[in-house]
Amino acid sequence: MSGCMNTVSQVKEKIAQGKKLLLAGDERVLEQLPPGDWIGGTIPYFMTEQGGMATKDQVYVTELPGTISDIAIKVYDESTLPHVYTDAAKNGFSIIIIPAMCTTHLSFALNAPNYKDFAIHPLIGWISGVHLDDLGKIKPKVFSGLTNTVLEDGAVVMHVTLPPGRVADVGILNIFEQSAGDTITFPQDGFSAREVYINGVKTNFAEYISAQHLDTRLPLVADYYGAMVNVSFQSVDAANRQVHFYAPVFAGLRYKHAKPIENYVRQFTSQMPTKLGKQIVFSCNCILNYLYSELEGKQTGGITGPITFGEVAYQLLNQTMVYLTIIDLAA
């Protein structure tokens, strides 16, 4: 892993040295940083070598390896973000950060799979957030170090070019699997649902969750040709008979409630692909995994990075660790 916690002065030094940086930290520390080759997003939660931690005083720094050929930092809004795949380097990868719950976040979540050249180039990233005590008081933000721009709505992307002989790949580690239970389908795409189909029978989803005593800390899981993709529950509004999610559900996909997890850390470390250690350039994990599995103070197999309000591996994911590897084809 090439990331670690830094003080503000350490980050300033790295920026002055011309390092290419991906930063995560509280707004008050990120806004102290000078212009440079960096992008960042707000969050005060991290997985570190010492374990999960919350701090508003330090910055999680991912330093891109010196072997990269070039970078281009771009700021997008809802109308320009559909170009994110076509703007990517032919051989390289792109890192995206979007503030939680802004228009661009919601649009990306719903529409990314329809963007031109979707998934053609590696796209990884995260949704920025705030301390849970600040929810509703402070808005999540993203920063472009190139122009010292701060955005509450938009996306900042670093498009990275790799030299010949090196390639990038995106992976996910999702410990959740589909249970053997009912198949749930949705009549339309969206972040909320009322009427759904349970094994083909139209049913109010809020009432179904209550009647079945579903544990809403466990996500819905869809099978994308063998890749398990989660949608996390945000809330069940019994009064309005409506269920809200942290990522959109999509019409036609077949979802199942996840199997229960006994011990997140044990399951996580047992599923961590071996031999990846030094190849992993960047990773992040979900705030819901951090909270529900009580990861504060616990280590997750040496994998570090920001704890996020959503993860991006080509599209928006929930309750999933995502990671980027750079592979030396000559090795």
Partner 1 sequence: MDVPPISNPVWHNIVAGKVKYQLDFLAAKILLGRLLLRVRSDPSPGMLEKCAHDLQNLFAQNPDLPCVQRDLERIFGGER
Residue ranges that bind partner 1, judged by CB under 8 A: 90, 113, 118-122, 167, 169-172, 222-227, 229, 250, 252-253, 313-315, 327, 329
Burial of residue 12, with CB atoms counted within 10 A of its CB: 0-12 exposed, 13-18 middle, 19 or more buried: middle
Closest to partner 1 by CB, 60 or 255: 255
What would the 3-class secondary structure string for 116-184 be?
A: CCCCCCCEEEEEECCCHHHCCCCCCCEEECCCCEEECCCEEEEEEECCCCEEEEEEEECCCCECCCCCE
Closest to partner 1 by CB, 121 or 139: 121
Pair of tokens at residue 66: 């010196």
Closest to partner 1 by CB, 48 or 91: 91
Contacts of 210 (CB under 8 A, 6+ apart): 236, 238
First to last CA, the chain: 18
Residue reference for tokens 């719903």: 110
Question: At its nearest, how many Å lie between partner 1 and the CB of residue 156?
Answer: 22
C-alpha to C-alpha distance for 208 and 329, rounded to whole angstroms: 51
Question: At its nearest, how many Å lie between partner 1 and the CB of residue 47?
Answer: 21
Contacts of 294 (CB under 8 A, 6+ apart): none
Based on its alpha-carbon atoms, the radius of gyration of the chain, rounded to whole angstroms, reads 19
C-alpha to C-alpha distance for 33 and 14, rounded to whole angstroms: 11
Q: Are strands 280-286 and 305-308 parallel, antiparallel or unpaired?
A: parallel
Q: Are 35 and 147 in contact (CB under 8 A)?
A: yes
Question: At its nearest, how many Å lie between partner 1 and the CB of residue 289?
Answer: 19
Pair of tokens at residue 80: 């320009």
Nearest to 40 by CA among 66, 65, 14, 17: 14
